[in-house]
């Protein structure tokens, strides 16, 4: 299932591959569904990365994140799955995904996951 | 195309080349066009550098940045292209360009790129 | 169509009908779909009312608002429709609905609608 | 049931009955139980009143509010019930009770109720 | 010239014409050109109105405001012209347009104009 | 007992009795003792008045307020007693006393009392 | 002397004379000279008006205010003189000028003057 | 003694006597001496007035306020005395003096006095 | 020209040369003239230094900075020139000059330059 | 002259000499006289220290600082002199004196001086 939405992500060629630079993307409109209660969850997804040969096209990223709208998935898993999909498609030098979820039962949650290429 | 607007940039002689000092320039009125949708984008460009022989003349920098008004270009590329153009014209000791773009489809983006002279 | 979700709303008897009092409910996790682009919209719904014989049960209100998750509807209409449904079900002495939507194409919108019973 | 905890409230004689003055009491540590889900609710109760012959003793008020810890009751009703109990025991010239509840299912609620003596 | 962009504005039927309600729209990405220096100006346009038979469709409003991107026009006139165009197309019960422009030559400007229908 | 500390208050002649002016005094270091638990209470006393023939001397006011340090007295009564003592000694045109007490058992209290001369 | 700089002010025709609207202009870079000590003074000039037949052109207003750079004049008089000049040139329906000067000798000053046309 | 420092105040002719305008002066560096303890007091004096034929010259006002540096005087009296002196010298249409004194013995004081000309 | 205003700076003997201490001076009223457009520029100059044998006398520093009022000079150069002049006159152990200029053409600039004595 | 006011400072024995702890004292009511113009200066003196055998008695510190009321002294020197006097009397492990002076001629100044015992 992990490859489910990966095909939605589009890329464009990084015209500056010789430079080590950083891209930060903040998406405060993420929503998915709790796998236990089927109730909607709401959160903010923040993505930081240094591109190698490819950059993620932002409109396709929006559609990729919208694809989770009806998916039942735990906070912890969705954070890692977004990281896995973006790493697979972009092959970045490094990437970090931070997911901040709104309170449920009085409890707020943040999940952070990171990737670093082996031969940078 | 990368040299496209470079000629707009004017310089003046740095009268204090023996001193390592820092210039920070904030331009909150940057606008270009999305290369996919042809819709206008808006952002803030921040430039930090230490001059060597030349400083950038600010009015020419304003005209240089205004030149992107009708250009279709990705956020990631415009940040690097501004850095490349300024580095080519000024040959600074180091330079950093930060581009903060306003939300599109609920998504906010910041791109940061840096240059450091090899023999400073 | 306006009665579409009205049946989801549950009520409980107002045990204090002799008193004129105020209930304010804030729902920052509202999402629906743009009727033109089919893209998701996000917003905060605020409801103020003075109950007569009935109060809205909050869990059913949550389900009622969640029902809009896949509905294509304009901001202006959804605000009035929520007001109409709640007025029809609760017959409150007065009610106000405020909807604050997140930016789309750089544009932020707030819609405010009010109801007052004729013979209070 | 409405008289359930009323006996916990203690009073002391208002030594200044000839003067119209105001007492404001804020209790940010209120907790009760949702009558539908049996989950705990948390909120802040604010009480304003002008005493006539009696003032409420604050330690007994604390015990009175603590008595709701295991009671399943709607927000709307607990607000009015606190008002009714305090009015019955104190016979104040006027009184206002405001209850602010923390988010449940992403929804925040405030209930406000007031009393004014008929022959002041 | 005043009708120049009016045709870009699209409307949809107000499904709640019997109710007097308010719509507030904030557009922080407005840009036009100074009629004297041909330099770009930047500002925020805020529109408030109560619809009668028609509401403005927001995507068309975005395109309408983008149409000023290359127009040389004074701050004072563009504010009134936006008001005139929206009033002509929507025939609202009342409307207010506020334009806040960024500093030029160290000077910041805000223009506010209002319309009220004669027989509401 | 109400006259207990009144003798501590000293006055000086108001040299400007023909003018209606206002004096505001804030004393954030008030402490007394709870009459039930013998625990110390802490609060801020604010006094506003328009003098007639006399002004209160501030050092004596400080000693007067310090006299409550070991007195067991309810919040409601101490506020009124300070007002009574100051009115008796100063015969002001009007006076207001506001007492803000720090939380006890999680409960915060403010008491407000006012006086206005009958023939001003 | 009062007409001294009036000729610098340029106007353009108000294309919307049938509408009563408001223009607010803030100029935080005003400097003149103290008439007693010949030391420079610094302040912020705020102008509010409703135009009749004419609007002030902002670049000419900037040059007009810059003309005071070497003029020795009291705060009180410069505020009124700016008002007189703008009223003479624009014949507005009403106008207000507020001048906030930076501290001198530890003293900060604000002067506010207003004009209203007699037959509006 | 009340005329003691009045001679220090200098005036200049109000060149705009036909206009009713307002001058606000803030002096945060006032210091005098407590008449009982001979300890220094510190405060901020705020003066608001509408001039008739005369304005107060600010440097002389600074010297006038400095003259209180070694004077033993109650807060209440110094506020009224400053008002009396300025009214006598300027004959303003109206004037207000507000004196905010720093804490003494934990007590903060503000005194406010006003004057209005009888035949304005 | 760099020595142009240096003679205005006066010094006094540092009576504590055995101690390494810091002096910070903030001058928010700096104005000079753009060397290209002859338009006035406005900014804040901040000076930090550790004195050796001499301290700068503040009134002379004020006159020194006022001398730039009619000088056409780039932001980058004036910052370094102030640093050079103060270093030449004071021979401090170290010094830092920060110049923050107000926006021109929508662009804000900060220049920072530093000096450190070679044998401290 | 430096010993002038040192005798005013009184001390008491530090009962916890085995512990390294910090004392911070803020005195916002400092005033002295400019040695050039004889005009009063106003500032805030902040003292931080770690006591060894002695602590400064605060009432005596107040009198010590009040002693500068009529002394003509530069900001830079008074800061060091206070440090010298307190170090001589207290022999602390370390001490820092920060003096923040109010603006004069538009210029604000802060002086910071430090002492550290040689064999701590």
Q: Which chains touch D (3 or more CB pairs under 8 A)?
A: A, C, F
Q: What are the φ/ψ torsions at residue G61 (nearest 5 degrees)? A: -65, -40
Q: How many residues does chain G have?
A: 120
For residue A3, name the pLDDT band (cuts at 50, 70, 90): low
pLDDT in the model for residue C118: 82
Which pLDDT score, from 0 to 100, does residue J119 have?
Answer: 65
pLDDT tens, position by position, B58-86? 999 999 999 999 999 999 999 999 999 99
Please compute the mean of the pLDDT values over residues C87-109 and round it to a whole number: 96
End-to-end CA distance of chain D: 29
Find the residue in C nearest to B43 (Cα).
C106
Taking 50 as the threshold, does the pLDDT of residue C2 lie above it? Answer: no
- Residues sharing a CB contact under 8 Å with residue B71, sequence separation 6 or more, in sequence order: B32, B33, B78
* Model pLDDT for residues I36-71, shown as the tens digit of each residue: 989 999 999 999 999 999 999 999 999 999 999 999
Q: How far apart are CA E44 and CA E49, in angstroms?
A: 17
End-to-end CA distance of chain J: 29
% of residues, chain D, pLDDT over 90 = 88
CA D66 – CA D78 distance, rounded (Å) = 13
| Alpha-carbon span F1 to E110, nearest angstrom | 63
pLDDT higher than 80, residue E103 = yes
**Residue C52 annotated as catalytic:** no
Q: Please give the pLDDT value at position I28.
A: 96
Q: How many CB atoms lie within 10 A of CB E30?
A: 21
Give the alpha-carbon dihedral of D11, D15, D19, D20, to 10 degrees: -10
DSSP string, G31-73: EEE-TTT--EEEEEEEEEEE-SSEEE-HHHHHHHHHGGGG-B-
Give residue-wise pLDDT tens across range H71-83. Answer: 999 999 999 999 9
Taking CA–CA distances from F1, the nearest residue in chain D reads: D15
Active site residues of G: 34, 41
Tell me, what's the pLDDT at F118? 81
- pLDDT of G3 reads 54
What part of A 92-111 touches D (C-beta under 8 Å)? 102-106
In this prediction, residue F36 carries a pLDDT of: 87
CA distance H35 to chain F (A): 11
Q: Is the dihedral of CA C9, C14, C20, C22 positive or negative?
A: negative
Question: Which pLDDT score is estimated for J3?
Answer: 54
Q: What's the mean pLDDT in C1-26?
A: 90
Residue B71 confidence (pLDDT): 96
- Whether there are 3 or more C-beta pairs closer than 8 Å between E and G is yes
Rounded to the nearest 5°, which phi and psi values hold at J89?
A: -85, -40
- Residues of J with a catalytic annotation lie at 34, 41
Task: State the distance between the two ends of chain G, measured CA to CA, in whole angstroms.
Answer: 29
What is the nearest CA distance from C85 to chain B, expressed in angstroms?
29
Instruction: Let me know: does F68 contact F78? Beta carbons within 8 Å.
Output: yes
pLDDT tens track for J41-92? 999 999 999 999 999 999 999 999 999 999 999 999 999 999 999 999 999 9
Partners of residue H111 in chain F, C-beta under 8 Å: 21-24
From chain F, the residues in CB contact with D61 under 8 A are 107
Contact across the interface for D105 and A39, Cβ inside 8 Å: yes
How high is the pLDDT of residue B91?
A: 97
Question: pLDDT by residue (tens digit) across F61-99?
Answer: 999 999 999 999 999 999 999 999 999 999 999 999 999
> Any idea which residues of H carry the catalytic annotation?
34, 41
Give E17's pLDDT tier (boundaries 50, 70, 90).
very high
Contact G66, G112 (CB under 8 A): no
Widest CA span in chain C: 48
Q: What average pLDDT does the segment C19-30 reach? A: 96
DSSP string, chain A: -TTTTGGG--EEE-S-TTS--EEEEEEEEEEEE-TTT--EEEEEEEEEEE-SSEEE-HHHHHHHHHGGGG-B--HHHHHHHHHHHHHHHH--SEEEEEEEEEEETTEEEEEEEEEE-S--
Q: Which of B41, B106, B108 to probe by mutation at the C interface, max C CB count within 10 Å?
A: B106
pLDDT at D109 over 80: yes
Contact list in H for residue G106 (CB cut-off 8 A) is: 27-29, 62
* Predicted-complex ipTM score: 0.90
- Could you count the other beta carbons within 10 Å of the beta carbon of residue F67? 14
Predicted pLDDT at G6: 96
Contact B80 A25 (CB under 8 A): no
Alpha carbon G105 to chain centroid distance?
A: 25
Q: If you compute the radius of gyration of chain I from its CA atoms, what whole number of angstroms results? A: 15
Confidence grade of residue H10 (pLDDT, cut at 50, 70, 90)? very high
Interface residue of D84, D85, D107, D117 to substitute, partner C, most C CBs within 10 Å: D107
Query: Which B residues 63-92 touch A at CB under 8 Å?
Result: 74-77, 79-80, 83-84
Distance of CA F90 to the CA centre of its chain: 12
Name, in order, each residue with C-beta under 8 angstroms of I49's C-beta and a sequence gap of 6 or more.
I22, I23, I86, I90, I92, I93, I94, I95, I96
F101: phi then psi, degrees, rounded to nearest 5: -100, 145
What is the pLDDT of chain D when averaged over all its residues? Answer: 93
Choose among F82, F23, F26: nearest CA to F51.
F23
| Mean pLDDT value across residues E6-28 | 96
- When CB atoms are compared, the residue of A28, A66, A102 closest to C40 is A66
- pLDDT for A118 equals 82
pLDDT over 80 at H2, yes or no:
no
Say how far apart CA C78 and CA C111 lie, in whole Å: 9
Mean pLDDT, chain B, integer? 94
Chain G residues inside the 8 Å CB shell of H51:
76
At a CB cut-off of 8 Å and minimum separation 6, what does C117 contact? Answer: C52, C91, C92, C93, C94
> Of chain I residues 1-60, which have a CB less than 8 A from chain E?
39, 42
Q: State residue J2's pLDDT score.
A: 45
Per-residue pLDDT reduced to its tens digit, C37-59:
899 999 999 999 999 999 999 99
Its pTM stands at 0.91
Q: What percent of chain I has pLDDT over 70?
A: 96
Contact I102 E102 (CB under 8 A): no
Please check the confidence at residue C9 and state whether its pLDDT lies above 70: yes
Show residues of chain B in contact with C104, CB under 8 Å. 106
Mean pLDDT for I58-87 is 96
Nearest to J70, CA basis, from J108, J34, J43: J34
Q: Do J105 and G39 touch (CB under 8 A)?
A: yes
CA angle at residue F87 from F82 to F91, to 5 degrees? 160
**Smallest Cα–Cα separation from G106: which of J78, H56, H70, J39?**
J39
Low-confidence ranges of chain G (pLDDT < 70): 1-3, 119-120
DSSP secondary-structure letter at C55?
E
Is pLDDT of B2 > 60? no
Find, among C5, C35, C20, C9, the residue nearest to C89 by Cα. C9
Mutate to test the interface with C, among A42, A60, A67 (most CBs of C within 10 A): A42
The answer to whether H78 and H98 have CB atoms below 8 angstroms apart is no
Long-range contacts of G82-88 (CB under 8 A, 24+ apart): G82/G45, G82/G47, G83/G113, G83/G114, G83/G115, G83/H19, G84/G2, G84/H16, G85/G2, G85/G3, G85/G5, G85/G6, G85/G9, G86/G9, G86/G47, G86/G49, G86/G56, G87/G115, G88/G6
Instruction: Write b or e for each residue in C76-85: b if 16 or more Cβ atoms lie within 10 A of its Cβ, otherwise e.
Output: bbbbbbbbbb
Q: Which of H32, H41, H107 should we substitute to test contact with F (largest number of F Cβ atoms within 10 Å)?
A: H107
pLDDT above 60 for D81: yes
Looking up tokens 């009749």 gives: G52
| E78 three-class SS | helix
H80-90 b/e (C-beta count within 10 Å ≥ 16 → b): bbbbbbbbebb
Count other C-beta atoms under 10 Å from residue F119's C-beta: 4
Asked if C29 lies within 8 A of A40 by C-beta distance, the reply is yes
Residue indicated by tokens 């007992």:
F1
For C70-79, write each residue's pLDDT tens digit: 999 999 999 9
Rounded distance between C-alpha atoms, residue A40 and residue A101, angstroms: 11
Q: How would residue E38 be classed by pLDDT, with cut points 50, 70 and 90?
A: very high
Of B39, B66, B102, the CB nearest to E40: B66
Q: Among candidates A113, A112, A114, A105, which has minimal Cα distance to A41?
A: A105
pLDDT level of residue E118 (50, 70, 90 thresholds): confident
Please give the structure tokens belonging to residue A69.
């709208």
- Asked whether at least 3 C-beta pairs link C and E within 8 Å, the reply is yes
Q: What percent of chain J has pLDDT over 90?
A: 92
| I21, I57 contact by CB (below 8 A) | no
Are the Cβ atoms of H21 and G80 closer than 8 angstroms?
yes
List the one residue out of D50, D49, D52 whose CA is nearest residue D14. D52
Catalytic residues of F: 34, 41
Q: What is the predicted pLDDT for the residue at H102?
A: 94
Identify the pLDDT of residue B119. Answer: 65
């Amino acid at each position: 299932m992990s490859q489910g939405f990966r095909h939605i992500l589009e890329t464009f060629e990084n015209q500056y591959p010789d430079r080590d630079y950083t891209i930060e993307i903040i998406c405060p409109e993420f929503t998915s569904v709790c796998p236990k209660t089927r109730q909607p969850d709401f959160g903010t997804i923040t993505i930081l990365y240094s591109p190698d040969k490819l950059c993620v096209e932002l409109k396709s990223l929006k559609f990729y994140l919208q694809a989770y709208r009806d998916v039942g998935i735990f906070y912890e898993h969705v954070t890692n799955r977004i990281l896995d999909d973006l790493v697979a498609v972009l092959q970045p030098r490094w990437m970090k995904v931070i997911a901040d979820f709104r309170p449920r039962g009085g409890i707020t949650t943040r999940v952070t996951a990171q990737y670093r290429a082996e031969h940078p």
